[in-house]
Structure 1
Amino acid sequence: MKNLIATLLLAALFFSCVPRNQYESIVTERNYYRNQSALADSLADQRAISSYDEVDLTGSELTQRIRQVEALTATNVSLNKSYQDLEARYNELLGQSQSMLSENGTEVTGLQQSLAERSAQVSAREQELRQLELDLQARQEAIERIEGDYTPAGGGQPVSYGTVSRDPGLRPPLSGSQNAALKLNTIQNDLNQLLANAGLPGKSYIVAPAGNNRLQVSLAEGNLSTDGFTVSQAGQQLLRRMAMTLRNYPSVEYTIIGHADGANPNALRAYEDSTDKAINVAQQLVNYGLDPAKITAGGKGFYSPVADSSTPTGQAANRRMDILLTVPE
């Protein structure tokens, strides 16, 4: 642009001798180009300044952006560390919760088992108390029967049981049959309590009077044997407990009778089998302390059934062991 101005000046000097109107036209044209040149230079300078500002502004923004990225990176690292810490804490708490749940489950199971055992013990105690109540009632009835049969010498009213008489002559000793009845009643109560505490099914045994001075104990075969011949371990324990109780009454005599079910029509075989079973039971009672001189063992085969032998249920009922206890007067 400066070269153009210099050219115009040279032209003006060259044409200095031109007419005035032409000169003014040339001046006007010079001023126009001068103004255009100044305007171009101004725009160039402004554009350069703008360009410099833009470069400087872009650098500041970049620095600011870098700082923001660094800050965000640091924040992300911190958040990631916090997340990892929270995850580790969560896993720790989860493990503790699972451990506590496992321990609580084991504790609850133990408490439930303890509660079931306590309930079973309470039920057994209730059953024992009911049996004792029945035994007491039976003894009272036996005493009342004995007192009803007893009349003091010289007439008069019977003296109540447990009453102390000032005159011993008013109450003579009980008769032999009365003593036997009282002892038999005591034995019955003892055996009822023993069998009830043994946990046997209610219909698998019977303890009942069987005539004057005699008591019958009937035991289902399953209470004594698992194979029908050999006395089982549970059967031996049951007979041992019975023998321990019956040893308190040394005068009692025993008749042990085995029974067959009638499934085999061979009468001789039924006699042999039922007798062998009775002998096995008698041997166990002797081993546990009963006097063998007071025990008689035998079998009736299938000739004394208590149920229909044509059915399995009836056959099971007929396979039994009867122990007859006789109290001498």
Structure 2
Amino acid sequence: MKRLIIPALLTAIGMSACVPKNQYEALETERNYYRNQTALADSLNDQRAISSYDEVDVTGVELNQRIRQVEALTATNVALNQSYQSLQARYEELLGQSQELLSTSGDQVSSLQQSLAERTTAVSQREDELRQMEVDLAAREAAIARVEADFQTAGDAPGTYGSSASAPLAYGSSVTPQNLSASQNTALRINEIQSELSQVLASYPVSSQKMEVEGSDKLRVTLSESLLSSDGFSINPAGQSLLRSIAGVLRNYASAEILVIGHADNTGGNALRAYEDSSDKAINAATQLINFGISPRKLTVAGKGFYDPVTNGITQVDLEKNRRTELVISVYEY
């Protein structure tokens, strides 16, 4: 645009003849001004073009640098990812080893605990057997003391106990030895029965059975419900085995009579129901004794309901203690 203006001015000057000097100088000055402006504009345009090219070059270099940085970061990320995966695999391996060690240690601890529990149970059973033996020993000593007292009352010395010119009596025989009173023979029979039944009950927990001498002619054997029954009424195979062994001892004593007493707990508070349950329990036990050779004429059955408890507790253990069966063995020697 400016380049068109300058020729136009020159043409106008050429067409004008006889121009005043001052006007000519003014036109010349104006021409120079426009020339300068045109040169300046061209210079600015060139500078802008050069700057544009430089900016393009700078942008390309930065772009290459950034691409290289991205590539370097990508390579670093890949290496870190590989390291992470390696560490993750190592961690899982160590975790598996730790769990395996913990499992093995747990099994060993459980085994040791089980072994300790078994040994503790065995020791408890030994202690129960020892206490039962002590009870039996005390009962035997008491029976011997009663027999000796009877001898002394009859004027016989204890050293002649059971002495006779005839052959010795067979163990468990109901024949009355010579020189012994009826009470002495009764005490002797009770002692013999107690000794044999102690051997039968030795393999059962002391907490589930008890044997007591009452006076000089009675022996009370208490059996827990768990020894005889699984449901509280019918006799299970284990209970039948126990009653068979007891009957095997009592069959050898013709003078022995057995009172079978059943007991119930006070659950529900129904006295009639408790009486019926305890009577049924006693009848079931007596029936088994008859099946194993005890004469029905030697048996008496009774049920006491919940009127003769051994404990007034209300826990399941206490209630089971009350739901018991008793065999009261009486010996009558004449």
User: Under a length normalisation based on structure 1, what TM-score does the superposition of the two structures give?
Assistant: 0.57
User: Equivalent pairs: percent with the same residue?
Assistant: 46
The answer on 1:216 being equivalent to 2:224 is: no
1:206 offset after TM fit, Å?
Answer: 3.8
Counterpart Cα distance in 2 of 1:299 and 1:141 = 27
Note the 1:142-157 alignment, pairs <5 A. Answer: 142=143
C-alpha distance in structure 1 between counterparts of 2:90 and 2:102, whole Å = 18
- 1:70 is paired with a residue whose SS is helix
The amino acid that maps onto 2:297 is G
**What is the CA–CA distance in structure 1 between the aligned matches of 2:142 and 2:300, rounded to whole Å?**
37
Asked if residue 281 in structure 1 is aligned to residue 280 in structure 2, the reply is: no
Count of residue correspondences: 283
Tell me how far apart the structure 1 counterparts of residues 233 and 51 of structure 2 sit (CA, whole Å). Answer: 122
Paired AA for residue 238 in structure 2? A
Q: Is the 8 A contact 1:192 1:207 kept in 2?
A: no
| Displacement after TM superposition at 1:56 (Å) | 1.1
Matches of 2:323 and 2:190, distance apart in 1: 26
Q: How does 1:1-329 map to 2 (within 5 A)?
A: 20-85=21-86, 110-142=111-143, 175=163, 177=180, 185=191, 188-189=194-195, 191-192=197-198, 194-195=200-201, 197-199=203-205, 202=208, 206-209=211-214, 211=216, 214=217, 216-218=219-221, 222=225, 223-224=227-228, 232-239=236-243, 241-242=245-246, 246=249, 253=254, 255-257=256-258, 259=260, 278=286, 280-281=288-289, 283-284=291-292, 296-298=295-297, 301=300, 305=302, 307=304, 311=305, 321-324=327-330
CA, structure 1 residues 114+97, in 2 after alignment: closer, same or farther (shift >3 Å)? same
Q: For the Cα contact (< 8 Å) 1:256–1:324, is it kept in 2? A: yes
With over 3 angstroms needed to count, the CA separation of the structure-2 counterparts of 1:230 and 1:33, relative to structure 1, is closer
Q: Distance in 2 between matches of 1:12 and 1:229?
A: 148
Q: Aligned pair in 2 of structure 1 residues 191, 301: CA closer, same or farther (>3 Å)?
A: closer
Q: 1:154-200: per-residue Cα shift (whole Å, max 9, x none)?
A: x9xx99xxxxxxxxxxx666545589857854652553464364137
Give the whole-Å Cα distance in 2 for the aligned partners of 1:260 and 1:147: 32
Q: Distance in 1 between matches of 2:200 and 2:35?
A: 141
Q: For residue 298 of structure 1, give the secondary structure of its aligned residue in structure 2.
A: helix
Deviation string, structure 1 residues 109-134 (Cα, Å, up to 9, x no partner): 55554444333333222222222233
Please, which runs of 5 or more residues in structure 1 have no aligned partner? 160-170, 265-269, 287-294
User: Aligned equivalents of 1:92 and 1:38: distance in 2?
Assistant: 80
For residue 164 of structure 1, what is the aligned residue in structure 2?
none
Take 2:3 and 2:17, find their aligned partners in 1: how far apart are those partners?
Answer: 21
Partner secondary structure for residue 297 of structure 2: strand
Secondary structure of the equivalent of 1:216? strand
For residues 198 and 186 of structure 1, the distance between their equivalents in structure 2, rounded to whole angstroms, comes to 20
Q: Which runs of 5+ in 2 are unaligned?
A: 164-176, 263-271, 274-278, 310-321
TM-score, normalised to structure 2, is 0.57
Give the drift of 1:55.
1.0
Which whole-Å CA distance do the structure 2 matches of 1:207 and 1:255 have between them? 16
Quote the offset at 1:52 in angstroms: 0.7
8 A contact 1:260–1:300 mirrored in 2:
no
| Correspondence for 1:292 | none
Q: CA RMSD in A?
A: 5.3
CA distance in 2, matches of 1:21, 1:225: 150
Task: Give 3-state SS (helix, strand or coil) of 2:256's partner.
Answer: strand
